[in-house]
Amino acid sequence: MEFKEFTNSLFINGEWHQVDQKQTESVVNPATLEHITKVSYGGKSETEQAIAAASAAFSDWSKKTGRERSRYLYRAHELMLKDVDRLGEILTMEQGKPLQEAKGEIKSAASFLLWYAEEASRGYGEWLPSSTNSKRMLVIGQPIGVVGAITPWNFPSSMITRKVAPALAAGCTVVLKPSPETPLSAIAIMEIFEKAGLPGGVVNMVTGDAKAIGQAMLNSKAVKMITFTGSTATGKYLMSEGAKQMKKVSLELGGHAPIIVFDDADLEKAATLSLASKFRNNGQTCICANRLYVHEKVAEAFTALLKEKVEQLQIGNGVKEGVDLGPLINEQAVKKVKAQYDDALSKGAQIVCGGSDLNAIPNGLAGFYFQPTVLSEVTDDMAIMTEETFGPLFPIQLFSDDDEAIAKANNTDYGLAAYIFTENTGKTLRTAEKLEYGIVGVNDVFPALSEAPFGGMKESGNSKEGGHHGMDEFLEKKLISIAIE
Ligand code: ADP
């Protein structure tokens, strides 16, 4: 796929704009280190223009019925599904994940458009039985207003539709700031909204200076809510700055997901799905497994199964057939994985398979690669047991007591997703209730579907995306209390 040397990436009031091309942002293919294109570098003034466009569009858009709004989302859904192959290629080129995974993400991104096209007509209120006969009370949900949406690079398409579709369904208008690493998928989604006939200003996008764009959103009284997916550090910053105006700040942040493999687990299933959780998107997923706790009775058999499967994974440029693992997103990401790996080895971890030998990476690959690696003899003082890894490094620790494993799983400030493998119903429910996580997968590592609420506890976030819960975040509840006597 060919791109021009420069691609406009400011979508404001239904039109494409560019700023002074002297300052641009370069987009690089992490699999080859090749330059793909440059995009516009917007900042404060472009963000203010986008906010003004979104504010002007809000009045008409919020007055449309849910049915009317849903038509645009249905059209966008159809357009996206028709274009899965091209959109998948763009995604792989700028982000690195294998093409099959990228196309899967596009289908998932489209599923949020469909779900919220359906949900747009269902912003139900409540009728409250009053404690006095002289009153009637009802609660309605009204769109909160202009929303600033800030999205990450690990799911450059589905993180956008998971925020923008429910916001639009609820009647809000949006200013989007995608990740600087992956603006091309975001541009393609804006083009889809444009083709779907969305009125100008309902969705706008500004790429460029993250801090300046974020600050312009935070400073604007017109922006009533910021919805953010990214690091916990940036999330905390946005929340503290947003507090100055009591802005609603919805956060989807980092994770440190544990997998517990109990002694009654189906080991084949547990090994296959643990691998899928850890190595999907090369470990760059906020819900991907970061730590494995395996019951000592089954540890040997489980580790052998996992090793056999990990050793079959093919690393390479994601556009090639048969590649399971693409590159990491950038050099910093490789350094972070290597630092956790070195720290673990220096404290006594053993390599089950993989390792940091870059000579083991197939010839001719210039990108940001790291071998899929499994470590055993892992102890709690190793950085990998407390810090998010975001890479293909998998530590295994053994346990003998179930409650000890659950306590260890909970011993983190993160609380996004946890997974358990067991065939015992009682143990499933007892454990799921005890785990301090917003999502618990039971023999299941793919819980993020359009109909389900996705979100974390503790320092992993404060909101839900997906399902009717996801649209609720964009609706402000208003009590209408009517005295009838
Ligand atoms: P990650 O490590 O996943 O890239 P970040 O929190 O750094 O997490 O980035 C997630 C998104 O937040 C990206 O779109 C990034 O550009 C944006 N971002 C980073 N810093 C700020 C900021 N100060 N204000 C607004 N957005 C920011």
Task: Identify whether residues 378 and 426 lie together within a single domain.
Answer: yes
CATH of the domain at 217: 3.40.605.10
Task: Identify whether residues 278 and 320 lie together within a single domain.
Answer: yes
Task: Identify whether residues 215 and 309 lie together within a single domain.
Answer: no
Q: Is 48 known to be catalytic?
A: no
Cα angle, residue 145 at apex, residues 140 and 147 outer, rounded to 5° = 125
User: Which stretch of DSSP H or E encloses residue 393?
Assistant: strand 393-399
Interval between CA 29 and ligand 1 midpoint (Å) = 19
Q: Is 252 known to be catalytic?
A: yes
How many CB atoms are located within 10 Å of the residue 444 CB? 14
Does any ligand 1 atom lie closer than 6 A to the CB of residue 230? yes
Task: Identify whether residues 112 and 47 lie together within a single domain.
Answer: yes
Does 82 fall in a domain? yes
Task: Identify whether residues 265 and 247 lie together within a single domain.
Answer: no
Task: Identify whether residues 67 and 145 lie together within a single domain.
Answer: yes
Contact criterion met (CB below 8 Å) for 410 and 293: no
Task: Identify whether residues 300 and 156 lie together within a single domain.
Answer: no
Interval between CA 230 and ligand 1 midpoint (Å) = 6
pLDDT given for residue 358 in this prediction: 67
Structure tokens at 146: 């202009």
Task: Identify whether residues 110 and 19 lie together within a single domain.
Answer: yes
Interval between CA 211 and ligand 1 midpoint (Å) = 8
Mutate to test the pocket of ligand 1, among 234, 238, 281, 328 (most ligand atoms within 8 A of CB): 234
CA distance to 8, 144, 160, 401, 420, per residue, from 42 (Å): 10, 26, 19, 55, 44
Please state whether beta strands 289-295 and 350-353 pair in parallel, antiparallel, or not at all (unpaired).
unpaired
Does any ligand 1 atom lie closer than 6 A to the CB of residue 210? yes
Does any ligand 1 atom lie closer than 6 A to the CB of residue 219? no
Residue 387 to residue 380: CA distance in whole angstroms: 11
Q: What is the pLDDT along the chain (485 residues), one digit of tens a residue?
A: 778 899 999 999 999 998 877 789 999 999 999 999 999 999 999 999 999 999 999 999 999 999 999 999 999 999 999 999 999 999 999 999 999 999 999 999 999 999 999 999 999 999 999 999 999 999 999 999 999 999 999 999 999 999 999 999 999 999 999 999 999 999 999 999 999 999 999 999 999 999 999 999 999 999 999 999 999 999 999 999 999 999 999 999 999 999 999 999 999 999 999 999 999 999 999 999 999 999 999 999 999 999 999 999 999 999 999 999 999 999 999 999 999 999 999 999 999 999 987 666 665 677 899 999 999 999 999 999 999 999 999 999 999 999 999 999 999 999 999 999 999 999 999 999 999 999 999 999 999 999 999 999 999 999 999 999 999 999 999 999 999 99
Tell which residue, 180, 251, 224, has the closest CA to residue 463. Answer: 251
Task: Identify whether residues 53 and 151 lie together within a single domain.
Answer: yes
Sequence-ordered list of residues with C-beta below 8 angstroms from that of 98, at least 6 positions apart, any chain: 92, 318, 323, 324, 325, 326
Does 93 fall in a domain? yes
Does any ligand 1 atom lie closer than 6 A to the CB of residue 285? no
Task: Identify whether residues 183 and 42 lie together within a single domain.
Answer: yes
Does 138 fall in a domain? yes
Neighbouring C-alpha atoms within 13 Å toward the C-beta of 282: 31
Q: Of the listed 286, 353, 465, 473, which one is catalytic?
A: 286
Does any ligand 1 atom lie closer than 6 A to the CB of residue 237? yes
Structure tokens at 410: 């909970």
Which residue is listed with tokens 């274009």? 83
Does any ligand 1 atom lie closer than 6 A to the CB of residue 122? no
pLDDT given for residue 72 in this prediction: 98
Which residue is listed with tokens 């690669």? 369
pLDDT given for residue 1 in this prediction: 75
pLDDT in tens, 10-44: 999 999 998 877 789 999 999 999 999 999 999 99
**Residue positions counted in the chain:** 485
Count of domains in the chain?
A: 2
pLDDT given for residue 408 in this prediction: 98
Mutate to test the pocket of ligand 1, among 179, 226, 288, 330 (most ligand atoms within 8 A of CB): 179
Cα angle, residue 56 at apex, residues 51 and 59 outer, rounded to 5° = 125
pLDDT given for residue 21 in this prediction: 72
In angstroms, the first-to-last Cα distance of the chain is 70
User: Which stretch of DSSP H or E encloses residue 140?
Assistant: strand 135-143
Residue 420 to residue 434: CA distance in whole angstroms: 12
Task: Identify whether residues 360 and 391 lie together within a single domain.
Answer: yes
Structure tokens at 218: 């935070």
Residue 231 to residue 397: CA distance in whole angstroms: 26
Does 313 fall in a domain? yes
Does any ligand 1 atom lie closer than 6 A to the CB of residue 234? yes
Tell which residue, 187, 177, 248, has the closest CA to residue 210. Answer: 177
pLDDT given for residue 367 in this prediction: 83
Contact criterion met (CB below 8 Å) for 12 and 53: yes
Interval between CA 250 and ligand 1 midpoint (Å) = 14
Does 455 fall in a domain? no
User: Which stretch of DSSP H or E encloses residue 420?
Assistant: strand 417-421
Range(s) of the domain holding residue 390: 257-449
Task: Identify whether residues 70 and 129 lie together within a single domain.
Answer: yes
Contact criterion met (CB below 8 Å) for 158 and 112: yes
Does 273 fall in a domain? yes
Does 2 fall in a domain? no
Does 456 fall in a domain? no
Identity at 346, one-letter amino acid code: S
pLDDT given for residue 2 in this prediction: 79
Structure tokens at 336: 């972070």
CATH of the domain at 385: 3.40.309.10
